[in-house]
């Protein structure tokens, strides 16, 4: 199962724009699993989100799914150069460093079920590989090769820096960039349908002159925009605490529930789906709602839509 996750995690970094190559990668991954006698979609090793099925990601410039194909190749080449090093005494420290990172990756594959967004979580490991790659290339391949690799990586990075899918620096035609898009709109670039609901909820809560606001969100709901919008809208310090915590962290929550904290407004995102709707008799009633967002105020507060 570790081998299964190693192969599938590695495949996240070699996505191509073309369909044929990606299909070949999927066919190869499934073929290896067949030889191993393991289901490529085994629920014990595959996250059930958004689907319990392995698939090959295409080439992406999105921060959540972009791969590190060039860096993966450099890691493999550097490891090959290290193993071919005749002076093993000088290579001992490098081998220990590489061994630690390999073990870290294997632990990653052992502890976490595969999902198609693992490439961004593995970024820290690629960063830690860079000094190893640098030293090996300088000592084994020479300064000219090392300099060429640096130039290639800098040139390749411009595609992700200038044309990032969520924060592009250069637009094409009338497309938006970070320079012609407001900061608030950038927060909702991937969730533009939530922008008006979030802003409306904050404005309604701010109209109540609340200095303590309860926040109820689910596992995959946007939270950060609330923190920014509250501080920018109210003009004074607002204390925000999670309420109706229902996951494993509930045992550590300071609110048990709402103990020691009495917000004048509670903002909930999709409360019915998250099972966090404010119950009757709690002293709060729905004062405002729009789309998936609802604001509850104390019983003596205003009521409306």
Residue-wise pLDDT for 36-87, tens only, equals 999 999 998 998 876 678 888 888 888 888 999 999 999 999 999 988 877 7
Q: Bridge-partner residues for 240, per DSSP? A: 213
Q: Rounded CA gap, 295 and 289, in Å? A: 6
The residues near 113 (Cβ < 8 Å, ≥ 6 apart) are 5, 44, 45, 46, 47
Record the pTM. 0.76
Instruction: Find the helix or strand (DSSP H, E) in which 293 lies.
Output: strand 293-298
CA 232, chain centre distance (Å) = 25
- Mean pLDDT over 242-262 rounds to 66
**Are 64 and 117 a contacting pair, CB within 8 Å?**
yes
Q: Bridge-partner residues for 212, per DSSP? A: 239
Q: Bridge-partner residues for 284, per DSSP? A: 298
- Mean pLDDT over 16-45 rounds to 90
Cis? peptide before 50, omega within 30° of 0: yes
For residue 25, is pLDDT > 70?
Answer: yes
How does DSSP assign 14-35, residue by residue?
---SSHHHHHHHHHHHHHHHHH
């Amino acid at each position: 199962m570790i081998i299964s996750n190693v192969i599938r995690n590695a495949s996240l970094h070699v996505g191509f724009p073309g369909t044929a190559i990606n299909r070949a990668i999927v066919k190869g991954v499934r073929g290896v699993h067949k030889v191993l006698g393991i289901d490529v979609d085994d629920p014990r090793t595959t996250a059930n989100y958004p689907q319990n099925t392995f698939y090959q990601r295409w080439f992406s410039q999105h921060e959540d799914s972009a791969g590190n194909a060039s860096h993966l190749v450099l890691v493999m080449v550097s490891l090959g150069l290290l193993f071919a090093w005749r002076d093993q005494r000088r290579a001992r420290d490098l081998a220990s460093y590489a061994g630690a990172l390999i073990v870290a990756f294997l632990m990653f594959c052992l502890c976490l079920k595969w999902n198609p967004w693992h490439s961004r979580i593995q970024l820290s490991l690629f960063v830690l590989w860079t000094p190893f790659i640098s030293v090996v290339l300088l000592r084994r391949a020479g300064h000219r090769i090392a300099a060429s690799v640096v130039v290639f990586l800098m040139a390749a990075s411009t595609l992700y820096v200038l044309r990032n899918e969520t924060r592009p620096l250069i637009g094409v035609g009338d497309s938006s960039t970070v320079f012609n898009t407001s900061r608030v709109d950038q927060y909702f670039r991937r969730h533009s349908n939530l922008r008006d609901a979030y802003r409306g909820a904050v404005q309604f809560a701010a109209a109540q002159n609340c200095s303590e606001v309860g926040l109820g969100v689910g596992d995959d709901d946007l939270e950060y925009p609330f923190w920014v919008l509250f501080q920018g809208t109210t003009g004074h310090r607002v204390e925000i605490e999670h309420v109706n915590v229902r996951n494993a962290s509930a045992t550590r929550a300071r609110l048990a529930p709402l103990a020691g904290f009495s917000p004048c407004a509670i903002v909930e995102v999709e409360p019915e789906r998250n099972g966090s709707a404010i119950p009757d008799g709690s002293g709060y009633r729905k004062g405002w709602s729009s789309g998936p967002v609802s604001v509850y105020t104390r019983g003596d507060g205003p009521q409306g839509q």
